Amino acid sequence: MDIKIISDNLKSDIIGRKIMYKEETDSTNNDAKRCMDYPDGSTFIAERQTAGKGRRGRIWEAEKGSEILMTVLLKPPLPPEKISAVTAIVGIAVCRAVRKSGINAEIKWPNDIICRGKKLCGILCEMSVTGIELNYVAAGIGINANTESFLGELSDKATSLRIEKGEPVNREKLTAEVLSEFDKCYAKFLKNGFSAFKEKYEKLCATIGKEVKVVGKETYCANAVGINEDGELLIEFEGKISALNSGEVSVRGIYGYV
């Protein structure tokens, strides 16, 4: 990737003002952690990861030179329990940036971006906490940008911007768009909290309004009805509304991935 194109297209005050680029790294989330003293919004981009991380200990695989792999180091002055909302903010920013390129992206709670029910992007936020204080969040974003096809089982579950558009996307410009959207959302989030985004999130979220299978200590089916001020999913089960935290449960669609 040409970092100059990203910087030239960036409209941002904090996010992406400092960009560190590597051809190869273990994981851009690890790069951010190793540079935890860097300023808020520092962004780590790589062309290839040898140990890319997904949620729940999974491996994140990506084709070299085709995808967008980046992590934004965030230092919001917030308590750790507000971090689910940060994940939601990242989701909104990616969704908006992708929509600008004409693709009908939606959020699958808590942190996948999907199109036509297939995954376009995964978000992995890792945080460091001392006592009850948040040190930083490493917000990792992996976007399936220019992969031409997915093989086997993955072809039903994953898609790329290239597949959806029928032509390659400019990864540098899209990266700049994601970082610029993220910057706007982050500033507003720090000023007004997640409540300023609640309605917008609910509109962009494909999970809400659907029947979902909740997999945690117990497994049961419920209706997803909204999101709360902390970025937790509100579900209705046996007439009662409760909030689900993404760290504790996973939510699956009844009729497929969403």
- Closest C-alpha among 197, 58, 174 to residue 120: 174
144 contacts ligand BTN (rule: CB under 6 A) = no
Two tokens, residue 248: 């504790």
Half-sphere exposure of 189 (CA within 13 A, CB side): 31
49 contacts ligand BTN (rule: CB under 6 A) = yes
Instruction: Tell me the closest approach of the beta carbon of residue 18 to ligand BTN, in angstroms.
Output: 17
Compose the 52-91 pattern: x for residues touching ligand BTN by CB under 6 A, - for all others: xxxx--x-x--------xxx--------------------
- Candidate ranges 91-99, 139-147, 173-181, 218-226; the one touching ligand BTN (CB under 6 A): 139-147
- How many chain residues interact with ligand BTN (CB under 6 A)? 20
Which one of residues 14, 113, 124, 158 is an interface residue with ligand BTN (CB under 6 A)? 124
41 contacts ligand BTN (rule: CB under 6 A) = no
176 contacts ligand BTN (rule: CB under 6 A) = no
Q: What is the DSSP string of 103-137?
A: ---EEETTTEEEETTEEEEEEEEEEEEETTEEEEE
Cα 96 to Cα 17, 25, 93, 105, 145, distances in angstroms: 20, 28, 5, 8, 15
Which stretches of the chain bind ligand BTN, using CB under 6 A? Answer: 27-29, 49, 52-55, 58, 60, 69-71, 112, 122-124, 140-142
